[in-house]
Structure 1
Amino acid sequence: MLIFNKKADLTTFLSDYKNKRSTIGFVPTMGALHKGHLSLLEKSVSENDITVISIFVNPTQFNNPEDLEKYPRTLEADAEKVKTVSDKILIFAPSVDEMYEGNIVSGHFSFDGLENQMEGAHRPGHFDGVGTIVKKLFEIVTPDNAYFGEKDFQQLQIVKKMVEKEAMPINIIGCPISREPNGLAMSSRNQRLSDEDKEKAAFIYKILQEAKQLFGNNSIEDVKKHIYDAFEARPEFKMDYFEITAEDDLIPANIKENKAYRGFIAVFLSNVRLIDNISLN
């Protein structure tokens, strides 16, 4: 397993694979790896000649400085986890200065309105930061296939839109959410939860499953009321939002049409912000 810290070193190494027309798979992460990340790596390894994982905590997608400061950074432990998948995976772990060259600012992106919903509305500038770093990483790695988990479904749709608008020859592959045995969606942020909080957080997926059951025979308004009432009865949680949207445009829905719908939730538990989603159809 090789670890690269410099863009030029990684691109030089990958040039041989490009010349041989080998396929390159890519898994971008912010580290603090868990089984969900490893499942993305396993899929990439099975479908490509070489796989690259980036481990980089991107400052421009955090609108809360405290959240950025507290984000876990565990490169040594992450490398050991990567080894359990394959010793042929390349790790790209650059510094902030290497990626931003002293100018830590986001570019401005239009994702045809996808960026204005949910996470975009509640975290101003977040998706400009995501677009900035993902574009930089894509230009460095030049992958054939890139793998993203569906826990960040809005991010997945935004990356697909960016690749389309920038005419990048990259296949964006969404992968199912990995969950703990109690249903909690795996996330690096879960490291900040106590064991007791992790058990409490199982309520998030439980209530999403209830939303799925209710969606077939109830109005969107009634489903949303059920969710908000359920969390109001659980004061340990602070609700940020629950939305039901069509998967294609992510605009909050009022009436059901012949579309694929998904329920999205964001809540705080012990000052840790947790997100999850579920297909409703």
Structure 2
Amino acid sequence: MRIEFNHFNRFVTIICLAICIPYTNVRAQVQKPEPSYGFYKGVFYFSMIGGETSYTGGSLIQREKDYQNGLRSQANLGILPVRMVGTVPFPQSFPLPTDKIQSGNTRRVSMEYGLTDNLGFFISYNTIAIESQGTNQLAVIDRNQPNGYTTYIEAIPLSATLYKDRSYGLGLNYHFLSKNRFDPYVGLEVSVLNFDTKYRSGQLNNLYYPTYTHPGTGYGGRVAFGTNYFITPEFGIAIEIYGSRKILKSNAFESESINHAGFQFGFIFNFESMGRL
């Protein structure tokens, strides 16, 4: 009986080992590797950033500035009278309100895929809106004038959205470091866009100098220098300095350009690391 009992113990031990060893191997095989920080091959990244432009220029902006400067010069030389509202005169000793093109607000979202440990391909959606404030030219009926009206400048400034667009881009980012919390990069992008802009022609229309909003399309290029800092493998802070140039066309003009540059700040997410949570 003792011999049979020893044989039984050995049999049970062999069965247990036969079950446990493969199970242990399977657990070792399916155990997920530790998530990595930073940028690397085969991963999708989603970023959301925004900010204000520090520079806005181009022929579209310069044209609006020239138009405003022309009205101000005519007012200063006495060629055009200045009125407060309607027929209320504006005191000559008072300066006209300052004309200005304000900085534009920008928003950007992008999805990037790691082609290699250093090179990423991305698609993006961007918006920008630029506000302006300037003098406005109006007219009133005046039968004492040969043409039947008098033109004047309104002292109360005209505030409006001078330009806004929605652009859709694709491009490449080169990341200098791989699998690192600190992820500096340089990027190039091309885009197509839809825009709306105020385009003042200076032509009188039924005693009104219109400031119509004209829609149009265009294309552009963008260069960016930035860095991401990953607080965790799943989430990080994104900082970017960029410059952009766009060529525009609409029913109001054959070709104009707009340039802007600025600083943006936001967040970045590593979808692979998030999927491991």
* TM superposition score normalised by structure 1: 0.20
Greater relative contact order (CA < 8 Å, ≥ 6 in sequence): 2
If each structure's strand is expressed as a fraction of its own residues, which one has the higher value?
2
Rg: which structure is higher? 2
* TM superposition score normalised by structure 2: 0.20
